[in-house]
Amino acid sequence: MGWLEAAEQIRVGALKSTTYVETLLARINTLDPQLHAFVHLEPDNALQQARQADKLTQTGVSSGPLHGIPFALKDIIDVEGMPTTAHSKILAHNIATHDAEVTRRLKAAGGIIIGKLATHEFAYGGPCFDLPRPPARNPWDLRMFPGGSSSGSGAAIAAGLIPVALGTDTGGSVRNPASMCGIVGMKATYGRVSRRGVIPLSFSLDHVGPMTRTIAENAAILSIISGHDPLDPASSCKPVPDFLAAAKQGALGDIQGLRIGVIRHFYRDDMVAHPAVASGIESALGILAKLGAEVIEVSTLALQEFTDSQRVLLMSESYAIHREWLQTRPADYAKMTREKLLHGAFLSAADYVQSVRNRPRFIAAIDALFEQADILVTASSMDLQFPVDDAEAVARCYPRQARAPFNLSGHPAISVPIGFTKPDDDEPPLPLSMQLIGRHFDEETVFRVAACHEVAAGLRNIHPPLEA
């Protein structure tokens, strides 16, 4: 059962929040010892909140659209009174003193915080085995990488441990685990969602985004967490539309005449995607064309140009944040994280300024595509899932993606499931994905097209074969 359905049942008294939370906690207890999705769990606190929600329901009161629904957060997002460790020894004893703005909004909507989810160290490192906790694993095949850096969020949603999670996305860290775990991950327009109370990685690229099993669930969460926050300097004052309504419209197949621009050169020429990824995208485009969309090919700057500039900003800004710890406590980082963070020390101020000055050119390049198309499609991950403990595969495959351009440009981008690989003797079927990109602050069209595809492709109720 999805969270929208559960919320409706709780609202009408057909389901108790307590029962829902107990069921999920039992599933977590059974499955998480293999998945390692959670780094912190507060079952007693969650059950207490669920009992309070049930009492309110009995008096006819609803706290909001998330009334009685549990959620969990990537462990760089603050929850007052809970640890925020960033999955690192550096912050092993850090207890948050305030809620992040997104936490406050989820709680205000009636949501119940159940715990914190695994991340790559400081949302950057990778699947590391030299940290206090092991990395999360992919529910479709426990040997496999679940994507990152919001790895616990992806694994927990795909495994049905929790219906709602938030991740963060600086170079694709919501969309990558969504892609690897076969769920929906949305990075909205830069400024749409507050980052206050979230440990920064790169302030000009960081986004917070919802991760869910379905498009409608994702759209509803984005509506809840979006909106102006005067204490986040990047926060936008733009009004927040009803994203769920857009998803519902799309689910009815309403995309007649919509122009879909496919950036094929990102995954055919600039980086060559695995054939299963490329053919999966073609199948998805075929579905959308049958429903009346006009599919055209568009081209822009080379993918590497976008990613190089994104990396300079990311490395420079993250080094600025971590410099003091790198100087005084380098051994407290995982080896992989330390190596990645050190790059920023050897980029110059001129490199950073060049990338900042070039950024509008990259934004204009994407904006220009929207004169021909209403929405863009390209690959999310170029490669299929690989073993989580294969450091060489991590190094080789992790940068092979087409997500970073939209952190650089700030356009809204979502990763959605499009099917599965063909299983063989060694591997079960594993999820494939594509990415949809919209105009700035036009998440509605993104959700509309994504929901249309989701229904037509019949992918909504396929979940990993886990025994609980």
Partner 1 sequence: MTDDKISDLAAKHGLELAYALDPDAFASAVNQARALSERIAKPNSFTDEPAHVLKLSSGRKADARHRDNEP
> Catalytic residues, which ones?
74, 149, 173
Mode of pairing for the β-strands spanning 38-41 and 112-117: antiparallel
**Whether 236 contacts 228, CB under 8 Å:** yes
Other Cβ atoms within 10 Å of 257 Cβ, number: 8
Q: Is 305 or 389 the residue whose CB approaches partner 1 more closely?
A: 305
Binding-site member from 56, 276, 302, 391 for partner 1 (CB under 8 A): 302
Binding-site member from 22, 254, 294, 305 for partner 1 (CB under 8 A): 305
Binding-site member from 200, 250, 344, 405 for partner 1 (CB under 8 A): 344
Query: C-beta of 342: minimal distance to partner 1 in Å?
Result: 4
State how far the Cα of 168 lies from the Cα of 187, in Å rounded to an integer: 8
15-23, 94-102, 205-213, 357-365 -> range binding partner 1 (CB under 8 A)? 357-365
Q: Tell me which residues in 407-446 interact with partner 1 (CB under 8 A).
A: none
Binding-site member from 212, 214, 355, 409 for partner 1 (CB under 8 A): 355
State how far the Cα of 462 lies from the Cα of 459, in Å rounded to an integer: 6
Binding-site member from 348, 423, 458, 468 for partner 1 (CB under 8 A): 348
Q: Tell me which residues in 263-292 interact with partner 1 (CB under 8 A).
A: 265
Q: Does 299 bind partner 1 (CB under 8 A)?
A: yes
Phi, psi of 134 (to 5 degrees): -75, 165
Query: C-beta of 438: minimal distance to partner 1 in Å?
Result: 16
**Whether 115 contacts 75, CB under 8 Å:** no
Other Cβ atoms within 10 Å of 421 Cβ, number: 18
Cβ neighbours for 167, distance < 8 A, ≥ 6 positions apart: 74, 149, 150, 153, 154, 173, 174, 177, 185, 208, 209, 211
Binding-site member from 214, 226, 300, 378 for partner 1 (CB under 8 A): 300
Q: Is 308 or 427 the residue whose CB approaches partner 1 more closely?
A: 308
Binding-site member from 22, 80, 294, 351 for partner 1 (CB under 8 A): 351
Binding-site member from 342, 393, 457, 466 for partner 1 (CB under 8 A): 342
Residues contacting partner 1: total by CB under 8 A? 41
Q: Tell me which residues in 230-269 interact with partner 1 (CB under 8 A).
A: 265
Q: Tell me which residues in 88-127 interact with partner 1 (CB under 8 A).
A: none
213-221, 330-338, 400-408, 449-457 -> range binding partner 1 (CB under 8 A)? 330-338
Q: Is 55 or 329 the residue whose CB approaches partner 1 more closely?
A: 329
Query: C-beta of 452: minimal distance to partner 1 in Å?
Result: 25
State how far the Cα of 298 lies from the Cα of 377, in Å rounded to an integer: 10
Q: Does 170 bind partner 1 (CB under 8 A)?
A: no
Q: Does 357 bind partner 1 (CB under 8 A)?
A: yes
Instruction: Indicate the length of the chain as a whole number.
Output: 468
The site for partner 1 (CB under 8 A) is made up of: 265, 298-302, 304-305, 308-309, 311-312, 315, 326-328, 330-331, 335, 338-339, 342-348, 351, 354-355, 357-358, 360-361, 364-365, 368-369, 371-372
